[in-house]
Each structure stands twice: as structure tokens, then as C-alpha cells.
Structure 1
């Protein structure tokens, strides 16, 4: 009976009405208001976000452009690259950055054409140095709690995105920066990257999911060791611990992890988008419960792909020995 209730509840929760699928065009139209030209006098565009046919989306009139978002096109259509760009602050998490990332995440959630998201840095040698302590030092004590809560909520939202998320760690990811990466589905790091939850050095603890996500990822004992000692590890050691899924040799341009993340996104891109979303949901929900309930969740997620046009297209393409053309329907 319990399993039946789980299936019914999940079936209702996961059902995507046809009308909602048809809202993609309306969402795309709404997103067009964010398309703006590059800020004149800005630094040379980073190839991760700009290039032939690139469409930059800016979420602030601030010329510093703390966050840059690009929806790739052509054969990479469906891949979104979110680049943090606060060079003077080592990409530290500020009020403005939290605001911009919330807006970017909301746009992605509304767009059913998005198939994967890459989080990276546009600042050489840095992924994210954690909280902006200079900004926090200027906050009144009454402001600190609400800001930390909002930053925590942002990282939770990153973890709840329905599509695969990849953190490309080409530099230091410390404190909240590593917590941001931990909220992603997959982490790829260069061998030269540095990672650690170093909050105990400041007599605080990780406050944006680090104490919960890290033990689930590498085991309780190893997570305690890293957190208690505020230990920082490089990409090679992070791969050995299971903190990242891949560690790649850093290149001269300092974007080896990003390039590897892009290749992975390109592998995901041609797969059935609804199936990928349901697979992510089944894994994320199932890992938190007992096996019997997890199997019921899988069954409920599987039920969502049966009536899709993509499933029929997959079978037809297999029969006709051609590449399937999935549309997320």
C-alpha cells in the first residue's frame, strides 16, 4: 500500500502536461528581454562565453558583469554556460552575485529546451573563493543571517535544477565555492585546482550544504577529516577521494576542466531530454530512501517517459538505423 501511494504521488508530481511543454516558445520570448550587446570597453571576451553566433545574456547593467550566461547554439543548442566573473574579488559570493545567479537559475527552470548547464569561472586560477568576507564585514549583524540563508537557498536551487549540471573547476574552489560545486551533479577539475571546505579556520562551519553533501559523496569519515582540518586538496587528490568525477591535466589557457565539461555536455545533448531529466530525478530522490521506495520512485519516473513522442522516435530511429531526433516531447 505504501509503495502504491508513493507511485501515485510521484506520478502526479512528475507529470508534465502538454500545455506546459508548449510554453517553451513563450518562455523563450520572455527571455529575449535579457539579450543585450556587450558592454563597451569591457575586457576581451572569454571564448567560453563568446564566439561566432554567441548570444550573451546580461542580468545587470553593472559594467563589471559579475555573471555572464550564454545559451549555446548550433550543434550545442541546449547547453547553457554560466560564468562567474568577479576578478577583483576572486569570484567571491556577494549579494549581487547571489541575485544574478537566482535570476539565471529561474530562466533555466522555465526553459524546457535546456539540456545541461556548465558552471565555470571566467577568472584564471579561481573557481570561487567562497563568501565575500570584505562585503560581509561591512554588514550589520542582523544582515548576516538573512544573507547566509539566501546563499544557502541559491545553492539548494542549483541542486534542484531538473537538467544535468556540471561544475568545471579550473582553479580554487573554497568554502561556499566548493559547496556550489557540490550541489552540481558532476564535478570536473583540473589537476592544478584547489578544493576545500575551510570554514573552521574562521571558527564557523560550512553553511550551504557542505556538511551534508560532502559525506554523501566521499563518505562520513573522509568528509569529517577534510572539514575538521580545513584541508585543501588538489584536483588529482580530489579525484582519488571521489570529490570530483574527473581530473584533467591543466592546459596553457587554464580551461582544461571547462573543455572537458563541454565535451561531457555534448555527450548528454543528443540523448532523450525527458529521459535524462527523469533519470536525474529518480537518482536524486531514490538515493535518499530505502531500496523498495527507490524502486517505486524509479517506476513512477519511468511511467513519465512511456507516453512521450521521444520514446516512439527512439524506437523508430533504431528500426531505421538512423540517429534519433529528440524534441523533448
Structure 2
């Protein structure tokens, strides 16, 4: 059964992480997500790609801790970094749509998208330090996003923050009311997809 759904509408690729209940990213799912991103990259019609999580609990609770063991760690890291690189290199404008929790590696994927948005109820965090590890992509990107002080606070404490705090820190660019989230997201995406595809792609890649 597929753990990543791809729905193509006019100029928009809707990518949905679908591994209930929390859309935790395991190696198989990351490999599937990489394949989907490759398909999206090759789609000349889509000028916007939206990454979201299925269900009401989570965008994703991060990578699967069960696969953070010696025999699978290298494969897990390779699969995760392949996905992060593919997201960064997508020619489409990328929107990360967070409704629920976005933790660890999943939040790192949010970090590399062009426009991250969230519902009010969403929560964010990098809990890796609680497991004696660290978020490798966030270490590279987070200072640019929210400044060194805020980046250190987020990564070194491992604490979860609210959507309001995430907005202030720059982890997301917009926060939508819970009961308006779906409509506001679609309005944003419709506005993006209505713009010149060539200019949108060029701008997203600069």
C-alpha cells in the first residue's frame, strides 16, 4: 500500500504523506517519497508542489526511531538526505502545509520548502537531542531561517513550540485558523498556480 500519495491538478502537484497515525518517515516511505519527487520534477505542467500530511494529528512526527540502529542507520540517513536534496532542487515553487505536529526530520523537510504554512493547532520541534543525536539539515539551514540564537534554542533544548512561536521565528510564513486552514491553503496555492509558470519556476530556483 502506498505511503505517499500524488495528485496532479491544474499546475499543482499535491504530495501527501500517508502513514497513519503520525506519518512517521521510515526508509520505505522515504524511498517512495524520493520517487514521487522525481516524478514531480519531470512534470512540466506543474508549477507548484504542495507537501502535506494525511490525517488530523500530524504533518509527520519525524523519522522512524526504530530504524536508528547500526544496521539501518546509514540507509536511513541516505534516504532522508536524498529526499531533502530532491525537495531543494524541485523546479516548482514548494509549499509545506503543516496541520498537526511537525517534528525532527519532518520539520527539516518543511525548512527546505519555499513557503511553509500551518494551522493554529500545529506544533513544531527538533527533539533529536533527547535521543542523543542532532538534526543535520536544520544545523545547516536554521540559522539562515531564524538566526543563530533562535536556532540554538530550538536545537539544543529540543522543546516543542506553538504555531505562533514558529511564525515569529520564521519557521512558517503564515498561520491559518484551524477552521479556515483548508480553504486558506487552497486559496494560497491557487494564487501561486495562477502566476506565470516560467517566472514562478525561475524565481523558486533562485
Mark yes or no: TM-score above 0.5: yes
Structure-to-structure mapping, 1:267-278, within 5 angstroms = 267-278=191-202
Runs (5+) with no aligned partner, structure 1: 1-61, 283-329
| TM-aligned CA deviation for residue 97 of structure 1 | 0.8
Return the alpha-carbon distance in structure 2 between the equivalents of residues 124 and 115 of structure 1: 27
Q: Which has the larger radius of gyration?
A: 1
The aligned residue for residue 324 of structure 1 is none
The structure 1 residue matched to 2:176, chosen from 241, 248, 273, is 248
| TM-aligned CA deviation for residue 146 of structure 1 | 2.7
Return the alpha-carbon distance in structure 2 between the equivalents of residues 132 and 259 of structure 1: 31
CA deviation vs aligned residue, 1:224-273 (integer Å, no higher than 9, x gap) = 1111111211111111111110111112xxxx544323211111112111
Moved over 6 A (4+): none
The aligned residue for residue 20 of structure 1 is none
**Alignment RMSD (CA, Å):** 1.4
The structure 1 residue matched to 2:32, chosen from 100, 116, 141, is 100
The aligned residue for residue 39 of structure 1 is none
1:106 alignment partner, SS class: helix
CA deviation vs aligned residue, 1:82-121 (integer Å, no higher than 9, x gap) = 1111114x11111111111111111111111111011111
The answer as to whether partners of 2:164 and 2:175 remain within 8 angstroms in 1 is yes
The answer as to whether partners of 1:168 and 1:258 remain within 8 angstroms in 2 is no
Structure-to-structure mapping, 1:169-248, within 5 angstroms = 169-207=98-136, 209-248=137-176
The aligned residue for residue 6 of structure 2 is 69
The answer as to whether partners of 2:31 and 2:79 remain within 8 angstroms in 1 is no
Give the TM-score, by structure 2 length: 0.95
1:96 alignment partner, SS class: helix
2:45 alignment partner, SS class: coil
The aligned residue for residue 308 of structure 1 is none
Give the TM-score, by structure 1 length: 0.60
Runs (5+) with no aligned partner, structure 2: none
The aligned residue for residue 130 of structure 1 is 62
Give the length in aligned residue pairs.
206
The answer as to whether partners of 1:191 and 1:248 remain within 8 angstroms in 2 is yes
Return the alpha-carbon distance in structure 1 between the equivalents of residues 188 and 124 of structure 2: 21
CA deviation vs aligned residue, 1:70-92 (integer Å, no higher than 9, x gap) = 001xxxx011111111114x111
The aligned residue for residue 156 of structure 1 is 85
2:38 alignment partner, SS class: helix
Return the alpha-carbon distance in structure 1 between the equivalents of residues 178 and 181 of structure 2: 7
Return the alpha-carbon distance in structure 1 between the equivalents of residues 135 and 56 of structure 2: 25
2:124 alignment partner, SS class: strand
1:263 alignment partner, SS class: helix
1:87 alignment partner, SS class: coil
Q: Which has the higher contact order (CA 8 A, sep 6+)?
A: 2
Return the alpha-carbon distance in structure 1 between the equivalents of residues 16 and 75 of structure 2: 25
2:178 alignment partner, SS class: coil
